[in-house]
A and B are shown apart, each in its own frame.
Chain A
Amino acid sequence: MPHELALLHNCLLVGAVLFGIGLVGFVTRRNMIVMFLSAEIMLQGVSLSLVAWSRFRNDFGGQMLVLFIIAVAACEAAIALALVLMLFQRRGKLDIAEWRGLREANQPGFREEPPPEAPPEVIEPLPHLTPAGVAPQIPREETDYRPRM
């Protein structure tokens, strides 16, 4: 395969893999912010494909579209995170299952599984230095005010 074609092929493949990974993350995770991160991963995959085509076709059009994708993704992030914050303030959780009441009426019921055990909190004791040396003898009248340091 000629080098330019191989470069296009490889970059398109990496873009497809990124898109697939973002898709799996979006569909699977319950935390609203991680869902949004997965959507951003999908956007990165598409941007990579566009830039690869732009290089191959010697045309700046692909890179222009990626520039506007970046701008639109910034707007989308601002609005989405504002919405997520407001949703969090209504229910106190970032869980998308809190909002299952917004689904259509004919969906199968949601099985509320018992939450898995949290891993035990390992509280490490803070380091403790043994006192060493002799305590300085401070005259009584100087404990409140020391005229010299």
Chain B
Amino acid sequence: MPDLSSIPLSALAILLAAASLWLMLPRGGARGRGIGMILGAVALGLGAARLPSLGQWMADGIFLVLAGVTVTSAVGAITFRNPVYCAIWFGLSLLGVAGLFFFVGAQFLAVATVVVYAGAILVTFLFVLMLAQPEGKASYDRTGWETSVSAALGMIIVAVLSISISGALSAAKGDGGSFRQDAKQLGKVGSENFLRPPSEDAMAANILAPRHVARFGDEVFSRHLIAVEVAGVLLLAALVGAAVIVERGQRSAVKQPRSEGGDQKSEIAD
């Protein structure tokens, strides 16, 4: 368990986060988004104060900026009434996650996230919104299901996850705690080797190697070659499936006006 003096502060952060999410989610015209934003900022500040330092102040600052942008944009993506704004905030959240990937050293994945997620998936979302979104603000965009319960439970899940993360990782410091005794019985997890970071040379040769994409490609096309082939087949199946779904949908959508003509081909098609 993390040190007991910081539990009230963390509990307060979770409570404020739940309240702010509840206030900001669409609730059928109820107001309170401004207060929700302020409470959310306070909760983020409290959470950031609890984070262990990364050593240098610049690393800390960059990480906090990236993490702040990511989390704030994700909250914006679920909160706005207009779904196009939600998609755009999601794009910003993707940029934040890509920044965090760069920070951790996964350069290929950062660029892949921007190119594939923000460049393809997000654009597909926007196209579908263009085809399917009503002109004005629809009523179903301004209400939500059980906002209070879901905000509370979501933040409780985040609290449980963060307690288990802090508890498991602080066991490596040697501060101990009840996790240690339970973890030792599992054998491997409680051992010091699991949570000891690898040496600098091992890191520089592998994950933080200067030619990162070359190392990445080595791993993908040697140890995970079959998975690459299967992913290719999956992409083909998705492509064909999407085309078939849309074509079938078009055919059954136009079936009604054409049934007077008695077009046999479309009647036996489905």
Q: Are B139's CB and A11's CB within 8 A?
A: no
Q: Are A85's CB and B143's CB within 8 A?
A: no
CA distance A68 to B155 in the complex (A): 29
Given A17-B158, A20-B155, A84-B132, are A55 and B140 neighbors across the interface (CB < 8 Å)? no
Q: Nearest Cβ distance between residue B251 and chain A, in whole angstroms?
A: 11
Q: Are A82's CB and B77's CB within 8 A?
A: no
Given A60-B207, A95-B138, are A23 and B157 neighbors across the interface (CB < 8 Å)? yes
Q: Which residues of A contact B129 (CB under 8 A)?
A: 33
Q: Are A7's CB and B104's CB within 8 A?
A: yes
Q: Which residues of B contact A118 (CB under 8 A)?
A: 136-137, 139
Given A18-B71, A81-B128, are A93 and B138 neighbors across the interface (CB < 8 Å)? yes
Q: Are B195's CB and A5's CB within 8 A?
A: yes
Q: Are B70's CB and A38's CB within 8 A?
A: no
Q: Are B106's CB and A13's CB within 8 A?
A: no
- Closest residue of chain A to B56 (Cβ to Cβ) is A3
Q: Nearest Cβ distance between residue A22 and chain B, in whole angstroms?
A: 7
In this assembly, does B101 line the interface, its C-beta being within 8 Å of a C-beta of chain A? yes
In this assembly, does B19 line the interface, its C-beta being within 8 Å of a C-beta of chain A? no
Q: Which residues of B contact A79 (CB under 8 A)?
A: 238, 241-242, 245
Pick from A40-48, A101-109, A129-137, A141-149 the stretch touching chain B.
Answer: A40-48
CA distance A38 to B146 in the complex (A): 16
Q: Are B74's CB and A18's CB within 8 A?
A: yes
Contact with A along B118-157 (1 / 0, CB 8 A): 0011001100110111101111111111110011001101
Contact of A3 (CB < 8 Å), options: B54, B165, B215, B216: B54
Q: Are B246's CB and A86's CB within 8 A?
A: yes
Scoring B47, B120, B142 by chain A CB atoms within 10 A of each residue's CB, the highest score goes to B142
Q: Are B90's CB and A40's CB within 8 A?
A: yes
Contact of B131 (CB < 8 Å), options: A60, A67, A85: A85
Pick from B23-31, B182-190, B259-267 the stretch touching chain A.
Answer: B23-31
In this assembly, does B206 line the interface, its C-beta being within 8 Å of a C-beta of chain A? yes
Q: Which residues of A contact B161 (CB under 8 A)?
A: 16, 19-20
Q: Are B78's CB and A21's CB within 8 A?
A: yes
Main SS of the interface on chain B? Answer: helix
In this assembly, does B169 line the interface, its C-beta being within 8 Å of a C-beta of chain A? yes
Q: Nearest Cβ distance between residue A97 and chain B, in whole angstroms?
A: 7
Q: Which residues of A contact B235 (CB under 8 A)?
A: 71, 74-75
- Closest residue of chain B to A114 (Cβ to Cβ) is B139
CA distance A120 to B14 in the complex (A): 36
Q: Nearest Cβ distance between residue A130 and chain B, in whole angstroms?
A: 32
Q: Are B138's CB and A94's CB within 8 A?
A: yes
Q: Are A41's CB and B169's CB within 8 A?
A: no
- Closest residue of chain A to B139 (Cβ to Cβ) is A115
Q: Are B78's CB and A24's CB within 8 A?
A: yes
In this assembly, does B220 line the interface, its C-beta being within 8 Å of a C-beta of chain A? yes
Given A28-B144, A74-B116, are A3 and B162 neighbors across the interface (CB < 8 Å)? no
Q: Are B207's CB and A37's CB within 8 A?
A: no
Q: Which residues of A contact B117 (CB under 8 A)?
A: 40, 44, 70, 73
Q: Are B165's CB and A51's CB within 8 A?
A: no
Given A13-B51, A70-B117, A95-B140, are A57 and B245 neighbors across the interface (CB < 8 Å)? no
Contact with A along B221-248 (1 / 0, CB 8 A): 0011001000100110111011001101
A-B contact pairs, 18 of them (CB 8 A): A5-B169, A7-B63, A13-B51, A19-B157, A20-B155, A22-B74, A25-B78, A28-B147, A30-B144, A37-B86, A58-B202, A64-B220, A68-B224, A68-B231, A78-B242, A79-B238, A94-B83, A119-B137
Extra contacts besides A23-B150, A70-B117 (12): CB < 8 Å = A5-B197, A7-B54, A16-B165, A20-B155, A23-B157, A30-B140, A31-B138, A34-B83, A40-B121, A51-B101, A58-B207, A71-B231
